[in-house]
Structure formats: C-alpha cells, structure tokens
Amino acid sequence: MDSGAGGEPTVGEVGEFGLIELIRQGIGTSKHVLIGPGDDAAYLATSDGKVLVSTDLLVENRHFRRDWSSPYEIGRKAAACNLSDINAMGGVATGLTIGFGAPADLPVAWAVDMVRGFEEECSKVGAHIVGGDVTASDLIILAVTALGDAVRPVRRDGALPGDVVAFAGQLGLAGAGFAALSRGFRSPRAAVDAHRIPTPPYAAGPQAANAGATAMTDISDGLLADLGHIAESSGVAIDLTSSAFTLPEPVVTVGEALGADGMAFMLTGGDDYALVATFSSETTLPKGWTRIGVVSDGSGVTVDGKPYEGPAGHQHWR
C-alpha cells in the first residue's frame, strides 16, 4: 500500500482503530465526559442527568447497496446498527438524529420509505427520530447519532481473568448472507434477510448490565475482531471453545455452496449486531446468553487455545 504525499502514512495504512487512536490524542476532555472515545458509546453528564451518545456512518456501496436492499430495509439497518451501540453499553436508546446525503435525482419516495423503515426499527425500543440534516451528495450517506439512557453503562475494559465469555443474539447469518449476495445468490432467505435487516437482541444489553457484566460490546465487525477490543482494553486473554457454537442451517448451506468454512462466518462475520460480554464465573447468565469461552491472564483472542488463521473480521480500507 502506497503512502500519501511526502511519505506520510495514509488512513488505509493506519487502519480504523489506528486512526481513532491518533484522533483521541488530539482531542480534549472535561468533567462532563464520563466515558469518552473507545467504547460503543460515550457517556456524558448534563445539568439534569446523564446521556449515552453514539454515531455511525453508512455509505452507499460500502454498507448497503440499492440493488440488494429496499429503502425500507436500509432504514431498518441504519437504525439497528445505531440502536445496537446503545444496547452494547447496557442502555436503551431514546432518540436519534439523521444526517442524510443524497443525489438530486433520488426519488422522494425512496427517502420517505427509508424513514419508514428507520422509525419502525426505532419503535422496537421506544425511540424516534428527533432531528437531523440533509445535503446533496453523489452517493446516499446516512450519518446517525443515537442518544440513550443506562442505569450502569458497561464498558469494554472491565474483563477480568476467570470471567466467562458469552453472547446473545445470532451469529454468522449476516456474514453468510453477504457472501451469498456477493456471488449473485438470493438465498437462503434467512441469511440474506439477516444481512439486509439485522435483529439485535435489544433486551439483552440491559439484562447483561443488571446481571453484572464486566465488559460488553456489539458484534459489528466480527466476533473475534470485536472480542479483540475487549481483550486489548481490559489487558486480558480470551479463549473461545468452538464446540460451544451451533451453526445455523443457512450458514451451513452457504458454506457448502460456496466452498467456505461455516465456522468462519460465526467467528468473523459482521453485521449481525449480536452482543458479546464477560461475566464473573459465579454469575448466572441471563436467559438468551450462551457461554462460549473464558478470560485469562495474557493478551489476544484464541480459539481452542490456538491463534485463528485468517482475518479476524471486517477491516475498513482493507
């Protein structure tokens, strides 16, 4: 990969989290910032309370394609990935704003249908669109900020040796659906639909927080990649047990059709927006949570005691 002008590193070379770390070094903080950059959402103190804040950016042909998904489905997905960030902190979203960029020739009906899908997804947690902005753009861009409440925000940096690792929601289906769509297939329907409209386990975040989860994040880039953030932030090692996973039939079907490893979709596929968390070994896991691994001294994420061969998940600019 070539460096930029004058030999300076490019954003593609430093990667998403390298860029975020450089940005963090150049920004300030204050007494109002209770949790700053580095988690799924920030946590701010206000004059009459506290609020969770998270922003995500969805770009046409990068995060969605109009020939794969309807505007309604794109609206559902845009809302889901932002609501999931609040969920991953153990909170519940209360309102969202949308920055909407679009070409001048985009039919108005497209935008209206997208908002219909967005609002329908928000209704699952009792949230609504509360504002935003619109502008001209060569491609459709959705910049969404979600606001929410949490009794006890759960960060990524609290995992401890001896904790157990568990997940809630579904894994692998969206990744398998993306692989199928990329090869021109429109089935299995369950996998393709999972890519078009994620189904985050919205009740699981607050349940995990109430049960005393020590660390938590949502799975947007892949289980191994996102667990890697918990391991790094907490200064621990995490080992997953492959036999703890049950491969959904559509994942197996896509794997067989494409000559791919179905387990890879479970471990590295993103866009399902499941939750993964760590809990004390003495904690009774909430309903819907499945134990899949353990936390120990050390660093990194392994599977059955061995490093995973291949990419751990999605990487921007790669």
117 lies in the same domain as 170: no
Q: Is 218 annotated as a binding residue?
A: yes
Q: Is 133 annotated as a binding residue?
A: yes
Q: Is 70 annotated as a binding residue?
A: no
| Domain span including residue 182 | 164-307
84 lies in the same domain as 42: yes
Q: Of the candidates 183, 175, 186, which has an alpha carbon nearest to the alpha carbon of residue 225?
A: 175
Question: In this structure, is the dihedral angle defined by the CA atoms of residues 165, 121, 38 and 64, taken in order, positive or negative?
Answer: positive
Q: Whole-number mean pLDDT of the chain?
A: 93
254 lies in the same domain as 170: yes
278 lies in the same domain as 217: yes
What is the number of structural domains in the chain? 2
Residue 4 has pLDDT above 80, yes or no: no
Specify the higher pLDDT residue, 155 or 28. 155
Q: Phi then psi for 98, rounded to 5 degrees?
A: -125, 125
Q: Is 314 annotated as a binding residue?
A: no
Which tokens belong to 42? 């920030």
Place of tokens 């606001």: 147
Quickly state the pLDDT bin for 292 (edges 50, 70, 90): very high
Q: Is 40 annotated as a binding residue?
A: yes
CA end-to-end span of the chain: 10
Whether 1 is covered by a domain: the verdict is: no
Whether 93 is covered by a domain: the verdict is: yes
Mean pLDDT, residues 21-31: 80
Could you give the 3-state DSSP secondary structure of residue 193?
helix
188 lies in the same domain as 281: yes
298 lies in the same domain as 199: yes
CATH of the domain at 81: 3.30.1330.10
Q: Is 183 annotated as a binding residue?
A: no
Q: What is the pLDDT of residues 170-226, one digit of tens each?
A: 999 999 999 999 999 999 999 999 999 999 999 999 999 999 999 999 999 999 999
Q: What is the pLDDT of residues 242-259, one digit of tens each?
A: 999 999 999 999 999 999
Q: Is 76 annotated as a binding residue?
A: no
205 lies in the same domain as 86: no
Q: Is 189 annotated as a binding residue?
A: no
Q: Of the candidates 220, 277, 179, which has an alpha carbon nearest to the alpha carbon of residue 54?
A: 220
Q: Is 304 annotated as a binding residue?
A: no
Q: What is the pLDDT of residues 112-121, one digit of tens each?
A: 999 999 999 9
Quickly state the pLDDT bin for 22 (edges 50, 70, 90): confident
Mean pLDDT, residues 50-69: 95
